[in-house]
Amino acid sequence: MEKVLLGMSGGVDSSVSAILLKEAGYEVIGTTLNLFSETACCSYIDVKNICTKLGISHYILEGKDEFKKYVIDNFIDCYSNCLTPNPCIECNKYLKFGLMYEKAKKLGCKYIATGHYAKTEYSEKYNRWVLKKSKAIKKDQSYVLWNIPKEMLEHILFPLAEFEDKEQIREIAKKHNLTVANKPDSEDICFIPDGNYKKFLEDNSNLKPKEGDIVNSKGEVLGKHTGLYNYTIGQRKGLGISYKEPLFVIGFNKENNHVIVGTEKELYKSEIVIKNINLLLFDNISNPIKVNVKTRYSTKEAKAEAIQLNSDEIKITFEEPQARITPGQSLVMYIDDIVVGGGKIE
């Protein structure tokens, strides 16, 4: 019987994953990452109760130092440099598929598993293990998994890969009388449960309100802003300026403390460069390839061409210009339902 270390948050997805893995014949060991103390207690109780009910062992894995270094410090650093981060992607790479994988090896586990909606399988076509979208397209989370090491793919199980919607998962939980069957999904950043990231930045960093100019792409001053970190690419409301046509945030000038605004047309870009790349499907992209790309978790895919510039950068050329391209966010490339890889938008 193969051992699998399952990351458990106390939610319905990871709880049902434990049931499915047991039914598939694995010896399941549950683990919960202790990333920050403030909100962990209730989740621990839920996980402990579920593991006791299912008859599986459970470990609490300490990860506060790593979480601060790779997730929180990165979050603050991005906003300090006019970038918009996605902390879940860093957490997946360094904690859920980094620290947890090291613990799995120590426990003699061949696999690790999570309740993510995604899929791993061996592809005869590409002669390697691949990361794919889940069948539950509306819940698919392959976008936030692009940065995991490709050599780990054959050791990762996603028990929810074949389910088409969340209600199927809840029905399994109800069938097994799990108290978390109707537990709502968490939509917030886990370390900012009230969703107020601006207050979090001000309380935990040197970022404080600092007035500066709002300018257009010609450098004309149109108004004042309250601090660069208070604004996002594509923002229209709350700028406090009037103009002959609608204006949107299109960029920042950190050196001059400027928020740059422009017309809707100026939001669109035909090509961009991504860096800090991680390729899963190929070792490199030496010739241009056609891909579908997502520039944010919630955006629709766009057709594009990708070519690797060097070991750390890929140029993306869109078939049709795309709006609200945000530095710091991840761009993820797909061929059909397979993740090619991704990188951070410059």
Could you give the CA distance from residue 71 to residue 65 in angstroms, rounded to a whole number? 10
Nearest to 269 by CA among 320, 328, 313: 320
Whether 91 is catalytic is yes
Cα angle 232, 237, 241 (rounded to 5 degrees) comes to 105
Sort strands 3-7 and 27-34 into parallel, antiparallel or unpaired.
Answer: parallel
Yes or no: say if 183 and 169 are a contact pair by the CB < 8 Å rule. Answer: no
Cα angle 193, 195, 201 (rounded to 5 degrees) comes to 100
Angle (deg, nearest 10), helices 73-80 and 197-204? 100
Which residues in the chain belong to E strands, given as ranges? 3-7, 27-34, 57-62, 111-113, 118-123, 128-133, 156-157, 212-216, 221-225, 248-253, 258-262, 268-279, 289-294, 302-310, 313-323, 330-335, 338-345
Residues 6+ apart with CB under 8 A from 241: 214, 222, 223, 247, 261
Nearest to 282 by CA among 125, 157, 92: 125
Could you give the CA distance from residue 26 to residue 225 in angstroms, rounded to a whole number? 56
Active-site position among 51, 78, 88, 91: 91
For 232, counting Cβ atoms within 10 Å of its Cβ (0-12 exposed, 13-18 middle, 19+ buried), the class is exposed
What is the b/e burial string over 86-96, where b = at least 16 CB atoms within 10 angstroms of the residue's CB? bbbbbbbbbbb
Write down the residue that tokens 């792409």 correspond to.
Answer: 217
Q: Write out the catalytic residue numbers.
A: 91, 190
